[in-house]
Structure 1
Amino acid sequence: MTSYQINLEGDVLKVRFGQPANGDQVVRDAAARLDEMITLGELAGGKLLKIDGPASVAVSYLIAHKISHLYSAIAVFDPKIGRKGYKSFIVAVSHTPAYKIGELIETDEPQKDKINPKVVICGPSQSGKSCLREGLKQAISNIAGAPYPYVITACPDGEGAWYSEAAQRDLKLAQQLKAAYKAKFTPEFATKAANWVRNANTPLNIIEVGGRITNENRIIMREATHAVILSGKNDKIPEWQEFCESLGLRIVAIIHSDLEDKEDVIESESPVLTGKVHCLERGKDVSGREMVQMLAKVLVRLGSK
């Protein structure tokens, strides 16, 4: 089994991650598969090609490099826009006036009827939510057959999905970029983020929110289905439990974040995962931590039902 799977179904290029592998291997496997499809005439070119499925940034660039010259236009699936219940694509490459860059192409292909899990990572500020989010994303990606973890950063603190990897390479630069990108948490932003969550329809969606119980977070979180509470202070957990329950969210994990400790502790696995995760520190790869691994399995089960 390859680390990246690509197949053509009509005018839609279906892509998805396969067996766990590092990013460089994923790119090589994707390149080999695209070359094979071009050689066999499967990707023979045409008017419009739609791409549906998750891809890393590197793989996205690779696909564009390999096939953008073969088609008049290429559109990419975006789960956050378009008619509810149907797939929509955004034109990202165009060599023809028939399709404009940024044009929305709505289709009659339905989305699955089931409600895909939308899991909020919430809790007080300075608990390590962004570190946990990135560790979870990596841990889930390393589970064979797991659904792709689609991440939404629903807080305007400048710490997007790029931050963790950037911090591992150059913490000072990452902090400078974060400060430059940081914006105010306004009702307008909350409404926009809530729309992202509402329209997210991939099999597993992970949403990080800000660290305060506010009306803005209420607007965003009420569009979710499940919650993971992460707190550096045990006495803050009850108020976040009450907040999540008031929004009808099913709490799947309650985790104490201890920056100084040396190991994780699993207290219970069911019906709610509880325990402690240690040293969620920016710039560190936490995907191998016991609690992160266990939580990844919990979320994969949600996304696979």
Structure 2
Amino acid sequence: MEAVAEPAIRLQLSEQHRVQGLPYQWLTIAMTRRDRIIAPADLSNLALPPGIDTTGGVVLSGRAPIWLYSYLVQELHPTAWVACYDPRLGAIVVSTHSRLASIGQVLPVSLPGGAAASALCPALLVVGPPDSGKSVLSHALFQSLLPDAPDVYLQRAQWDGEGNYILELGAAFADDDREALKAINRGQLTDRFFAYHAQAILQLRRQKSLVLVDVGGMVQPEKQPILEACSHYLIISSQPEAIAPWHEFCRDRGNLTPLAVVHSTLEPCETIHTREPYLESTCGPWRQGQPRAIPTALLETVQGLIRFT
């Protein structure tokens, strides 16, 4: 008999919980394939699990694309209210038929079975001068770690508009098209920007196994809150003279632990210079639309930070 393939999306319903007097259930999304990739066609065979109490609320959680969340919110329309869980904030109510829950209300919930609030996982700050490949390396690390550590989180603490969606466009998109998309979503530095992201990082460290943080390419005193929220740092630089200022900023001022220094090159290369007191290597290229595997030594070094529970 031919084996039946496991669905690409699994939905798991929890028992009932309460928050601020409101009954609710968790509906957790899990992408079951090792590469965590799903397609819109996977919606055709997706059904809500039995046992949903429509008199209470449902909190959606899990790593999934916006279109899957939109579909589930629509399917959960009969419930009293629906919220989407953001580990940096809590459960945000996005649909309601109850006077007890309002749109935009943030409910202070924690994932069932989550780590104790006092147990912080490591946070790795990825730094270096502009055009060295920080965003590409951060994304490649994130994707490489996910299959074995689905609770890894990548926080983009910068306002240049270069999110994961840009890096996942593929080689078919020209550089001009990428820059145009980034320009549409580019923000500006405000007084609360880094303080907001620092608090988000701390919230993530209470719930995840490792937080990767991409903070942009300039040494700036305004980034001090980010230093205080992280535990380790990795420098990737195409400019040898730019490495020392980042060590001074992250290690000497921020008291962070150096994990690795990557000398970025445009030529295909993978050379290890030293492993102690931190990994130092030359490798590349790190270009958008040209994915490459993370060198084994670097991947193993970062994997050594992950907190498995």
Deviation per residue, 1:246-280 (Å, 9 max, x gap) = 21211211111102x12322344565232122111
Q: Which residue in 2 is equivalent to 1:96?
A: 98
1:13 and 2:27 matched: yes
Distance verdict in 2 for CA 1:150–1:8, change over 3 Å: same
8 A Cα contact 1:151 1:205, kept in partner:
yes
Alpha-carbon deviation of 1:79? 1.8
DSSP 3-state at the match of 1:7: strand
Q: Which residue in 1 is equivalent to 2:80?
A: 72
DSSP 3-state at the match of 2:142: helix
The letter of the residue matching 2:212 is I
Q: Take 1:128 and 1:2, find their aligned partners in 2: how far apart are those partners?
A: 35
8 A Cα contact 2:144 2:294, kept in partner:
no
Q: Take 2:107 and 2:58, find their aligned partners in 1: how far apart are those partners?
A: 11
Which stretch of structure 1 is more off in the superposition, 14-23 or 122-131? 14-23
1:37-52 matches, within 5 Å, as 38=49, 41-43=50-52, 45-52=54-61
1:148 and 2:151 matched: yes
Q: Take 1:97 and 1:169, find their aligned partners in 2: how far apart are those partners?
A: 49
8 A Cα contact 2:10 2:29, kept in partner:
yes
Which stretch of structure 1 is more off in the superposition, 103-112 or 244-253? 103-112
Q: Take 1:155 and 1:189, find their aligned partners in 2: how far apart are those partners?
A: 9
Deviation per residue, 1:50-92 (Å, 9 max, x gap) = 2233333344334334x322422111222212xxxxxx31112
Distance verdict in 2 for CA 1:57–1:274, change over 3 Å: farther
1:72-221 matches, within 5 Å, as 72-81=80-89, 88-107=90-109, 111-112=115-116, 113-141=118-146, 143=147, 145-166=148-169, 168-171=171-174, 172-201=176-205, 202-221=208-227
Q: Take 1:122 and 1:26, find their aligned partners in 2: how far apart are those partners?
A: 35
The letter of the residue matching 2:307 is S
The letter of the residue matching 2:81 is A
Q: Which residue in 2 is equivalent to 1:24?
A: 38
Alpha-carbon deviation of 1:5? 4.2
8 A Cα contact 2:8 2:38, kept in partner:
no
Q: Take 1:268 and 1:130, find their aligned partners in 2: how far apart are those partners?
A: 24
Alpha-carbon deviation of 1:27? 7.2
Q: Take 2:31 and 2:210, find their aligned partners in 1: how far apart are those partners?
A: 14
1:248 and 2:255 matched: yes
8 A Cα contact 1:4 1:26, kept in partner:
no
TM-score using structure 2 length: 0.81
Q: Take 1:245 and 1:252, find their aligned partners in 2: how far apart are those partners?
A: 10
Q: Take 2:130 and 2:136, find their aligned partners in 1: how far apart are those partners?
A: 12
The letter of the residue matching 2:69 is S
Query: Can you give the 5+ residue segments of structure 2 that lack an aligned partner in the other structure?
Result: 1-5, 16-24
DSSP 3-state at the match of 2:138: helix
DSSP 3-state at the match of 1:185: coil
Distance verdict in 2 for CA 1:234–1:27, change over 3 Å: farther
Distance verdict in 2 for CA 1:3–1:272, change over 3 Å: farther
Alpha-carbon deviation of 1:183? 3.1
Distance verdict in 2 for CA 1:195–1:119, change over 3 Å: same
Q: Which residue in 2 is equivalent to 1:84?
A: none
Q: Take 1:59 and 1:136, find their aligned partners in 2: how far apart are those partners?
A: 24
Q: Take 1:91 and 1:134, find their aligned partners in 2: how far apart are those partners?
A: 29
Alpha-carbon deviation of 1:93? 2.5
1:289-300 matches, within 5 Å, as 289-291=293-295, 294-300=297-303
Distance verdict in 2 for CA 1:58–1:238, change over 3 Å: same
Q: Take 1:26 and 1:252, find their aligned partners in 2: how far apart are those partners?
A: 39
Deviation per residue, 1:171-193 (Å, 9 max, x gap) = 32221121233233343322222
